[in-house]
């Protein structure tokens, strides 16, 4: 395979470890802290996890390693969507495992959780691992979205582990994957299977975080990648001076990516889904808010701008959520066949008009026809609207165009409005990890082995103090149950890791809120440029603006 110059250079990069993990495995001891409890629904979570609930938080430190010396076989899977740095978690795990005992083996199960069930794996060696150091993607073993959640599946996984004498499984994934890791760990504890489960926090959406997990891996690289592209678009907008760019970014359930990109690039508009929900903003109000910026800038001769739109924002608009619920009800059962049999869109529109309430029909009527049709054509396996497929960047530019046309007719607006649309998603999921993510992920993997060696089960690998240089990071672990609460899923109470939404009273949002009025009317663009891998630490090892503001640095 032909390698790029950057690939060759990155293979040679030596990730930085926290001070307490340096100097050899034999010099790492463990310190146990207080017992833990879940973030909510403590009694229910404890009842579901009697064997793994309430365990102590732990921190590693310099000292004599007191773990039992024995040969270890460990399994690892990548679960869910790709995030930059996943390869380095595996590399860190492999290096720690091999440095303890060269006879230790790391089994990489292919294609995500299904690889564990199907016993599809590779046993890593130095040559295989070395080809993936500090690279993006999950192609080292692939990933998948199969959920490990039934006792039948757990029994199969236990048999596979027994067959290969595997005593621990590391699950690298997001909130759902680590929820599954906690349930699997409880099963192994209950059945005395002799297998530990350790999780690692991954998601570019940034919503797997709390007081213990300061940042999920991949978020830094993905947002820097998107911010570079948004900065390029801003530079182009300021050069051509004739287009408004509507940029949709990843973030179905939370707006961390949108907010971080806004803090990095200072666009004219950035919607924050959590604020839309808090203020109960309507589609019309959001469109007016954007149109105010367009009109204000046009009055100064600036018929251009940039707006960042979170992927899932429409789901946070209360009236839109009601509309979706009514559409799902309207097309339930045989009604869907009746609707689909109608010959023309006009006939279908009449059917819709009869079936929706007056309030929801008013919302439906202002949508562009393409979006209207999308709501009725794209269904998920349960027959529901696939809201994530809605092109919200096109929806809002169309609504803004209508608002401006009305203002022009009333003599309130004389500018020009031409919109271009972008969706930044896959571009960031497999980028070469930044130095931060390369270091962070390697530390997470190395640390995961320490949790295994000391016998912990149902724990998440935890690296904290992340806004400081890597030498000052703190390595340890926390029980996954500490992050859990009960949520209603498909009509049942389920234990899940609580998603972290953008905190509207948090420092990152407050900084954005204090500056956005100026950004909306003036051209304050910042051009972050490409991720830098070599050079001064203040350029190459930068953390996210979100983390810096949260830690007040």
Residues 287, 372, single domain; the answer is yes
Give just the sign of the alpha carbon dihedral 6, 11, 14, 18: positive
Residues 454, 374, single domain; the answer is no
pLDDT, tens only, 491-550 = 788 899 999 999 999 999 999 999 999 999 999 999 999 999 999 998 999 899 999 999
Q: What is the pLDDT of residue 382?
A: 65
Residues 206, 235, single domain; the answer is no
Domain assignment present for residue 9? The answer is no
Residues 272, 352, single domain; the answer is yes
Residues 101, 183, single domain; the answer is yes
> DSSP 3-state assignment of 441?
helix
> DSSP 3-state assignment of 446?
helix
Tokens of 67: 């773990």
Domain assignment present for residue 283? The answer is yes
Q: What is the pLDDT of residue 490?
A: 67
Q: What is the pLDDT of residue 378?
A: 67
More confident residue, 212 or 272: 272
Within 8 A by CB and 6+ apart from 545, the residues are 260, 263, 264, 508
Q: How far apart are CA 348 and CA 343, in angstroms?
A: 8
Residues 204, 247, single domain; the answer is no
Q: How far apart are CA 396 and CA 472, in angstroms?
A: 44
Domain assignment present for residue 3? The answer is no
> DSSP 3-state assignment of 305?
strand
Q: Which residues pair with 169 in a beta bridge?
A: 75, 197
CB 186 within 8 A of CB 158: no
Tally of domains in the chain: 2
- Average pLDDT score over residue span 417-427: 96
For residue 78, which phi and psi values (nearest 5 degrees)? -105, 130
CA distances (Å), 65 to each of 29, 147, 195, 454, 501, in order? 5, 35, 21, 9, 39
CB 358 within 8 A of CB 370: no
Domain assignment present for residue 323? The answer is yes
Domain assignment present for residue 108? The answer is yes
Stated pTM of the model: 0.95
Q: What is the pLDDT of residue 69?
A: 86
Q: What is the pLDDT of residue 1?
A: 66
Residues 396, 324, single domain; the answer is yes
Q: How far apart are CA 244 and CA 526, in angstroms?
A: 17
Residues 460, 541, single domain; the answer is no
Measured from the Cβ of residue 277, the count of other Cβ atoms closer than 10 Å reads: 17
Q: How far apart are CA 230 and CA 234, in angstroms?
A: 6
Within 8 A by CB and 6+ apart from 457, the residues are 52, 185, 188, 189, 196, 197, 198
Query: Helices 86-100 and 435-453, interaxial angle, to 10°?
Result: 40
Kindly list the catalytic residues.
Answer: 205
Q: How far apart are CA 173 and CA 224, in angstroms?
A: 21
pLDDT band, residue 377 (cuts 50/70/90): confident
pLDDT, tens only, 279-337 = 999 999 999 999 999 999 999 999 999 999 999 999 899 999 999 889 988 888 778 88
Kind and range of the H or E run holding 31? strand 28-35
Q: Is the pLDDT of residue 447 over 70?
A: yes
CATH number for the domain spanning 514: value is 3.40.50.460
Helical residues (DSSP H) of 410-467, grouped into ranges: 426-429, 435-453
With residues binned 3-state (H G I as helix, E B as strand, rest as coil), the percentages for the chain, rounded to 5, are 45, 15, 35
pLDDT, tens only, 14-24 = 999 999 999 88
Q: What is the pLDDT of residue 334?
A: 76
pLDDT, tens only, 114-140 = 999 999 999 999 999 999 999 999 999
Q: How many CA atoms lie within 13 A of 148 on its CB side?
A: 34
By residue range, what is the domain housing residue 318? 219-429+506-550
pLDDT, tens only, 384-410 = 777 777 899 999 999 999 999 999 999
CA distances (Å), 377 to each of 326, 333, 349, 434, in order? 15, 15, 13, 40
Domain assignment present for residue 58? The answer is yes
Residues 157, 267, single domain; the answer is no
Q: How far apart are CA 150 and CA 180, in angstroms?
A: 10
pLDDT band, residue 4 (cuts 50/70/90): confident
CB 454 within 8 A of CB 447: no
- Average pLDDT score over residue span 364-389: 80
Please state, rounded to an integer, the average pLDDT across all residues of the chain: 94
State the DSSP string of 327-385: HHHHTSTHHHHHHHT-SSHHHHHHHHHHHS-HHHHHHHHHS-HHHHHHHHH-B-TTS-B
pLDDT, tens only, 55-102 = 999 999 999 999 988 999 999 999 999 999 999 999 999 999 999 999
Nearest to 385 by CA among 444, 339, 435, 446: 339
Q: What is the pLDDT of residue 491?
A: 73
Q: What percentage of the chain carries pLDDT values higher than 90? A: 86
Burial class (CB in 10 A: 0-12, 13-18, 19+), 373: middle
Residues 189, 328, single domain; the answer is no
CATH number for the domain spanning 200: value is 3.40.50.450
Within 8 A by CB and 6+ apart from 370, the residues are 394
Domain assignment present for residue 262? The answer is yes
Q: What is the pLDDT of residue 390?
A: 85
Residues 380, 273, single domain; the answer is yes
Domain assignment present for residue 291? The answer is yes
Tokens of 320: 């839109």
CB 55 within 8 A of CB 36: yes
CA distances (Å), 467 to each of 206, 439, 532, 535, in order? 15, 13, 18, 19
Residues 213, 226, single domain; the answer is no
Helical residues (DSSP H) of 5-66, grouped into ranges: 5-11, 42-48
Q: Residue written as tokens 């990152």?
A: 508
> DSSP 3-state assignment of 196?
strand
Q: How many CA atoms lie within 13 A of 180 on its CB side?
A: 26
Measured from the Cβ of residue 490, the count of other Cβ atoms closer than 10 Å reads: 6
């Amino acid at each position: 395979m032909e390698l790029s110059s950057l690939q060759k250079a990155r293979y040679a990069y030596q990730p930085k470890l926290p001070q307490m993990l340096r100097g050899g495995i034999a010099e790492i001891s463990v310190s146990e802290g207080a017992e833990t409890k879940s973030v909510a629904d403590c009694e229910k979570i404890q009842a579901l996890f009697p064997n793994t609930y309430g365990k102590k938080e732990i921190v590693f430190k310099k000292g004599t390693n007191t773990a039992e010396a024995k040969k270890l076989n460990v399994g690892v899977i990548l679960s869910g969507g790709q995030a930059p740095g996943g390869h380095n978690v595996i590399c860190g795990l492999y290096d720690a495992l091999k440095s303890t005992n060269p006879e230790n083996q790391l089994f990489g199960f292919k294609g995500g959780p299904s690889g564990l069930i199907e016993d599809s794996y590779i046993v890593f060696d130095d040559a295989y691992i070395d080809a993936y150091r500090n690279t993006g993607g999950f192609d080292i073993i692939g990933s998948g979205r199969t959920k490990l959640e039934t006792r039948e599946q757990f029994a199969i996984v236990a048999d596979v582990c027994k067959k290969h004498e595997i005593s621990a499984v590391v699950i690298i994934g997001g909130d759902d994957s680590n929820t599954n890791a906690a349930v699997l760990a409880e099963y192994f504890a209950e059945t005395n299977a002799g297998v530990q489960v350790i999780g690692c926090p991954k998601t570019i959406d940034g919503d797997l975080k709390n007081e213990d997990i300061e940042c999920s891996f991949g978020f830094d690289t993905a947002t820097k990648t998107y911010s570079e592209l948004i900065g390029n678009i801003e530079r182009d907008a300021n050069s051509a001076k004739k287009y408004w760019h509507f940029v949709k970014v990843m973030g179905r359930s939370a707006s961390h990516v949108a907010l971080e990109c806004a803090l990095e690039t200072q666009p004219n508009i950035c919607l924050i889904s959590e604020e839309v929900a808090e203020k109960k903003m309507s589609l019309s109000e959001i469109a007016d808010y954007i149109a105010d910026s367009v009109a204000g800038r046009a009055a100064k001769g600036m018929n251009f701008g940039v707006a960042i739109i979170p992927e899932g924002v429409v789901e946070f608009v209360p009236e839109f959520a009601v509309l979706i619920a009514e559409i799902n009800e309207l097309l339930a059962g045989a009604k869907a066949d009746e609707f689909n049999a109608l010959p023309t869109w006009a006939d279908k529109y009449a059917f819709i008009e009869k079936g929706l309430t007056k309030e929801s029909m008013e919302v439906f009527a202002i949508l562009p026809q393409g979006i209207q049709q999308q709501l009725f054509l794209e269904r998920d396996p349960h027959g529901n609207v696939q809201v994530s497929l809605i092109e919200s960047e096109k929806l809002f530019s169309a609504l803004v165009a209508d608002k401006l046309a009305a203002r022009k007719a009333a003599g309130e607006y004389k500018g020009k409005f031409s919109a271009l649309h972008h969706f930044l998603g896959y571009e960031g999921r497999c980028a070469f990890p930044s130095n931060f993510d390369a270091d962070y992920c390697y530390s997470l993997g190395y640390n995961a082995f320490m949790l295994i060696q000391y016998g912990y089960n149902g724990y998440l690998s935890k690296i904290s103090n992340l806004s400081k240089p890597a030498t000052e990071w703190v390595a340890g672990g926390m029980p996954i149950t500490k992050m859990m609460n009960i949520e209603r899923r498909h009509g049942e109470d389920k234990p899940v890791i609580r998603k972290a939404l953008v905190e509207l009273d948090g420092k990152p949002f407050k900084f954005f809120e204090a500056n956005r009025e100026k950004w909306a009317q003036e051209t304050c663009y910042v051009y972050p440029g490409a991720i830098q891998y070599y050079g001064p630490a203040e350029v190459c090892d930068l953390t996210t603006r979100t983390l810096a503001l949260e830690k007040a640095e």
